[in-house]
Amino acid sequence: MIYSYNKQFNGFAALLDEEDAAKLAEHPDVALVIQNKGIKLHTTHSWDFLQLENNGVVGLYSLWTRAKFGENIIIANLDTGVWPESKSFSDNGYGPIPTKWKGGCHNETLVPCNNKLIGAKYLNKGHEALLGKTDPSMNNARDHKGHGTHTLSTAGGNFVSGVNFSGVRMGTAKGGSPRARVAAYKVCWPIPPTFLKYECNAADIVKGFETAIYDGVDVISASLGAPPTDYMNDALAIASFHAVKRGVTVVFSAGNDGPSPGSVFNVAPWVITVGASTTDRDFQSFVHLASGLDLKGLSMPNPIPRNGLYPLVNAANAKAENATSMDAMFCAQGALDPEKVQGKILVCLRGGNIERADKGAEAARAGAAGMILCNDKAYGDDITAELQLLPAIHITYADGLRLYAYLNSTNKPMGYITHPEAAIHMKPAPKVAQFSSRGPNSITPEILKPDITAPGVNIIAAYSEDPKPVLPYNIDSGTSMACPHVAGVVGLLKRVHPDWSPSAIKSAIMTTANIIDNSGNPMIDETKHEASPFSRGAGVIDPNRAMDPGLVYDLTVNDYLDFLCTRGYNKTIIQKFSGQPYECPKNYNILDFNYPSITVPKLNGTVTVTRRLTNVGLPGTYTVGVKSPAGISVDVKPNILAFGKNGEVQKFELTMKADGTRVGRDYVFGELTWSNGNHYHVKSPIVVSMA
């Protein structure tokens, strides 16, 4: 026996061979048997960009003010643990821990907790069952990776002024709910043979969910995920369902497999799935060439010594004896000859299925003075600033062509990488990050995923101070960084609206999201074209508007069970899944599932969709507005909804049919808006494809 799950749901994790597992699955009291597997892991300026503050000034009508900065909300983070000594987890000025808290800290002499960091637990029995015993010195919640500290401090880190990164002042670090209490559940562990990469075991994650629910958390943030599978075989979907059933809002990252269609992870309708977008801040640097040409790129503060110009070398021309030119061009591990690289600035090509950080590590191993990373055509203009083991800059495909042309034009190419500077108010922003995973939902295409996007590029947050060099604050990118932004906002919304359900909170976030960039145009993706709901979800989170959405699309536990009924599960399976008796309705259409977006795959003829809206604002009258998808006619009845009191529920029907002008089966997109003509504009994406 690895784990017994008996606090919030009934089950266990154990080592079984395939034959025994098959026999167990046939037992009448067993709902399902799921294979244990490894699951991947997926600030100072971003809160200003999201308008919770303005140049450090928090306004009277900011959600931060109204929510008292998330005071006494409890945010859990399932990740690589926590660096407890970080100033982001200082409890200066904090009162007693909320009385509802049942949690605590494992091995507190090694991972000390306080009135801010009120929980720190480790769960590794599933990991050990598959990969062997963990080093005993690691049996605690201390974060030796940095990922968990970064994500937890983004969600709920305290205010820390004077943060700097390699000598560059970055301002004040803080999380989305800076006065929340936080708890770390370490479920991700280093894996052999190198123990440099981390993996999160499904059995440990489920135990983490159960423990966090029992401990009394309000929000669970999990920047991790696995390729989607049927809900009854998805341990994360099952565990998160039980959290939502108990009123705990669960926020997951969407994954970093973009821009491939259908790459989005964590697609269960009861969780909030978060994609990544940019802010208006860049860390700009230049490649200065001896020819006089300057190429702008992005770089982290790790300046190259200013000793005049440096020799440049194309990595393809610096291959090791037993390496191919292709491997060398991509700066693959062991592909470079140090004698050809030592003391020079190395030019590497992005791609080749090699992580950017691994390219930098190979360049550093070979003794390069610096690295210029050039995009290939597929990556285009998608560049990012990230910390490397040596001074480095990332440039676009177009500038890469100019650089390679220069390298080929002279026998002695020379250049220099300038020191990066932080620049704000860059346009256009936000944009969808190229790496952010995309819809459609591969399990249930009737449910739009991702739900929302949030800042996930060049995010500054607390970090592990081990291994060296010491980095109390670090910059990172990924949907892992976007996820805790939303979790932090969820904490604020729970503080203002403690009676809202997880689905009401999700609806408020989605229906108030922003899809216009700071140039006044629809936000774009990496192609420079308008971002679709498959990349941006409902849009970029707008915390202040989410506080007062007017209307919400609410869902109950029974609504989620009705949804599962449409998947063909019988009542016995659903009862065991949910822990309660349930009879599936005889006639239930998945298109009527009360989601804040409307998605109709394979439209054939005429389809009518039903939705319910609940008034959470002032009494008022709302009129519908529709931006119809290309080639689709949309009719809404009634087109006016009048709400006389808070909590009142009204229904409407939306009928769609092809108007005869649409050719092909590609998805088309539109928008439904209910507006009171003043403050409230309740927006929902419409997504349709033809049969």
Active site residue 299: no
Q: Which of 1, 119, 9, 6 is nearest to 575 (CA)?
A: 9
Ordered alpha helix ranges (H), 433-501: 479-496
Cα–Cα distance for residue pair 685/672, rounded to 1 Å: 6
Report CA-CA distances (Å) from 290 to 298, 344, 349, 412, 417.
Answer: 20, 14, 21, 10, 12
276: tokens are 């990544």
3-class SS of residue 398: helix
Report the C-alpha gap between 509 and 144 in whole angstroms. Answer: 33
Token pair belonging to 239: 């565990």
* Count of all residues that appear for the chain in the document: 691
End-to-end CA distance of the chain: give it in Å, rounded: 48
What are the C-alpha distances in Å from 416 to residues 311, 375, 383? 9, 19, 19
Active-site residue flag, 480: yes
Q: Which position among 221, 277, 437, 480 bears the catalytic label?
A: 480
Active-site hit among 42, 45, 46, 79: 79
Q: Write the DSSP string, 399-441.
A: HHHHHHHHHTT-SS-EEEEPPPEEE-S-SS---B-TTS---S-
Residues 362, 331: contact at Cβ < 8 Å?
yes
Strand partners, 476: 459
Per annotation, catalytic residue among 144, 147, 150, 497 = 147
CA distance 127 to 421: 42
Q: Are 177 and 69 in contact (CB under 8 A)?
A: yes
Q: How far is CA 200 from CA 6, 289, 559, in A?
A: 21, 45, 30
Active site (catalytic) residues: 79, 147, 480
